[in-house]
Structure 1
Amino acid sequence: MRKVVAMVGATALIVSGTILAIPSASAAPVCGTKAGIETCGGVLSNGAAYAIKIPSNFKGTVFYWNHGFRPSYPYPGYTPPKGVEELTLGNSTTKSDSTNEMLNLGYGVATYDRSTGGLHGWNTAEGVAMLKELVDTTKAKYPNATKSVIWGSSGGAPVVNMFAEKYPELTNAVGLATPVATNIGRQLQSGCDLFFIMSVFFDPTI
């Protein structure tokens, strides 16, 4: 009976001229090795870029980095990123991060450009789906990647939290650096909570 229903449904779609779009899977990563580090890159099914680095002394743990909030449009002093800009926690002023140190210790690192349709912003839910695809892609390429550390900073922290709650079987540990709430409304609520606490304990006129 189910097969009949499926056939009728498919026929109805063809007759009505409706096209059913099926999301495409991400293409296999393109990899190269230099100085004992295998670097892989590609795009996720929505077109967002990703990068993976695995050292020759890999011990089975991959750190999946989630960058913070980024505006979608340029303004003086800021240009929206196009592709992967950072692999690990770093300093935007000195343009340095902890990638080399982590690779030297035998850890793998992976990240993605958290963009949806070329735009960034508060795309937490989409970020969770992209992160899941990145983890799946990494594990498919490296079956010996048995442990996953999901970490991120600022606006990437909500993605980390939601991913860990939704996919606990893929999360061995999490790391949050200066985390913020999911969106502007919740950030404002957090600020109001802070002022309320200050009014109770420090100054009731606040």
Structure 2
Amino acid sequence: MTRAAGRPVTALAALLLLLAAAPAPASAAQHAPRHLEGTLPSGATYVIDAPARWNGTVLLFSHGYRPEGTPNPAVNAPDEPTKKLLLKEGYALVGSSYAKNGWAVEQAVPDQLAALDTFTGKVGAARRTLAWGQSLGGLVTTTIAERHPRRIDGSLSLCGLVHGGVANWNSTLDATFALRTLLAPGSGIRLTGFKDTADATASGNRLGAAMEAAQRTAPGRARIALAAALHAIPGWNDPATPRPAPDDHASRQANQYTALRGLVARPGFVWRAEAERRAGGTMSWNTGVDYTAMLARSAAYRQVKSLYKSAGLTLGADLRVLAGEPRVGADPGAVRYMADHAAPSGLLRKPQLDVHTTGDALVPAEVESAYRRAVNRAGRAPLLRQAYTDNAGHCTFSPAEQLGALHTVEHRVATGSWGDTSPAALNSRARDADPATPARYTPYRPGPYPRPFS
């Protein structure tokens, strides 16, 4: 018998006092929800959320492009409604800010892996790790899947730039080259090799003004439609606008014009200037490109022909002008940089699901054809599945659609078989996960990517 505060205490009571004073074991601490934030060695920040009842799966989320000079917080989910649903289902979430804004695939991949290491150290080892991301984050995710397969069990790319940096900047050049050649001949508007951001902005503004004037005339509208076709911009690309009929060429062209104006205002010039500084030169070219053949493969070919006919123009004459215009060359070192850091090879080693909206103007669904071709050439076709939602816009997925896609990847990882990945099956999974938001998976096969993929 012992004494405490002058009173006898039994051995059992003493043991209870000791247990009450001792810290809770790690296993018990894991039952409390955790929200952790911090800074990685690179200077990137990270954010971790682990629910009270963690199901053992951690989701590594890679965010999309953020322009220079804009806020760059760490995020671990694409939006708050989706995040809440995932935590409710028991998933743990982790993601980083990346150390730099812009075309930061070089920094994003190691920062994401470092964030994953931080999760393991602070929360615990996951039973299963799935990588997922949107837009540029879809490219980051695909790069992790191809180059660091031991770190993950499966991956999901949403509206991803899975065609890679080289193809992306080539495709952007195709559109701006056609616009300058046909709408502002002899203007000398710079398309690549910008001196600085101000130079890029001025060049984009000049081309934008030429587009604005052209849109007021039938010949100008036809030529803008031709440039849109070379970039595979769909005729319905804004979910806030009505969907035009397939043969409503005028309405479709108006939508393409709006999307091209956005491309010229930022990605085609200002964002390109940032990417060129990162790569050390011009990473895109159009030497040897046959724009007549590219247009013939386009889903918008009939629309362009119709608009040219209505405007009283000869399509062949404009294509010959494009063919004769002096071309843009690339800096080999810059191409090498982009290929080394941001060009998927198709060499998947773990299962990946790609999901795209059918009406994406910024990263058209045709990029999925490019990646499917690369995966097939690499002999990894069984590891890839691709699906499409019937909606306009870039990354305009509902929480239901995102959870349905994640559940599909997890099913493949858990069972070793994709099972049914039809639109009906994906919609069923989406509705089960969140009946309150749309499930719009649809049968769809995009056309070929405009520029041959390499």
TM-score bracket for this pair, using the shorter chain length: 0.5 to 0.7
8 Å CA contact 2:139–2:157 kept in 1: the answer is no
What residue number does 2:46 align with? 50
1:150 aligns with one of 93, 107, 131: 131
What residue number does 2:94 align with? 110
What residue number does 1:164 align with? 145
The aligned length equals 157
Secondary structure in structure 2 of the residue aligned to 1:89:
coil
Q: CA deviation at 1:166?
A: 1.5
Secondary structure in structure 1 of the residue aligned to 2:98:
coil
TM norm structure 1: 0.67
8 Å CA contact 2:66–2:72 kept in 1: the answer is no
**Offset from partner CA, 1:123-153 (integer Å, 9 cap, x none):** 1021111111111111222334121111111
Q: Does 1:89 align with 2:78?
A: yes
Q: CA deviation at 1:87?
A: 2.4
Q: Structure 1 unaligned segments of length 5 or more: list them.
A: 1-32, 74-79, 91-95
Secondary structure in structure 1 of the residue aligned to 2:54:
coil
Cα distance change of structure 1 residues 54 and 194 upon mapping to structure 2, 3 Å threshold: same
Q: CA deviation at 1:162?
A: 1.1
Q: CA deviation at 1:83?
A: 2.6
Cα distance change of structure 1 residues 200 and 100 upon mapping to structure 2, 3 Å threshold: closer
What residue number does 1:16 align with? none
Secondary structure in structure 1 of the residue aligned to 2:49:
strand
8 Å CA contact 1:62–1:149 kept in 2: the answer is yes
Secondary structure in structure 1 of the residue aligned to 2:77:
coil
TM norm structure 2: 0.32
Q: Equivalents in 2 of 1:137, 1:146: separation in Å?
A: 16
Q: Identical aligned pairs, as a percentage?
A: 22
* Ranges of 4+ aligned residues in structure 1 off by more than 4 Å: 190-198, 203-206
Cα distance change of structure 1 residues 162 and 104 upon mapping to structure 2, 3 Å threshold: same
8 Å CA contact 1:40–1:53 kept in 2: the answer is yes
Q: After the TM superposition, which residues 168-187 of structure 1 pair with which residues of structure 2 at under 5 Å, given as runs?
A: 168-180=149-161, 181-183=163-165, 185-187=166-168
One-letter code of the match for 2:167? R
Q: Which moved more, 1:141-150 or 1:157-166?
A: 141-150
Q: After the TM superposition, which residues 52-67 of structure 1 pair with which residues of structure 2 at under 5 Å, given as runs?
A: 52-67=48-63
**Offset from partner CA, 1:86-125 (integer Å, 9 cap, x none):** 32122xxxxx441111011010011111233xxx111102
Q: Which moved more, 1:138-147 or 1:167-176?
A: 138-147
Q: Structure 2 unaligned segments of length 5 or more: list them.
A: 1-28, 175-229, 233-292, 306-314, 320-454
One-letter code of the match for 2:71? P
8 Å CA contact 1:155–1:182 kept in 2: the answer is no
Q: Equivalents in 2 of 1:101, 1:53: separation in Å?
A: 13
What residue number does 2:64 align with? 68
Secondary structure in structure 2 of the residue aligned to 1:109:
strand
Q: Equivalents in 2 of 1:172, 1:66: separation in Å?
A: 16
Select the structure with the greater relative contact order (CA < 8 A; seq sep ≥ 6): 1
Secondary structure in structure 1 of the residue aligned to 2:140:
helix
Q: Equivalents in 2 of 1:146, 1:104: separation in Å?
A: 18
Q: Equivalents in 2 of 1:144, 1:112: separation in Å?
A: 18
Q: Equivalents in 2 of 1:102, 1:62: separation in Å?
A: 10
One-letter code of the match for 2:106? A
Computing the radius of gyration over CA atoms, which structure comes out larger, 1 or 2?
A: 2
Q: Equivalents in 1 of 2:160, 2:129: separation in Å?
A: 19
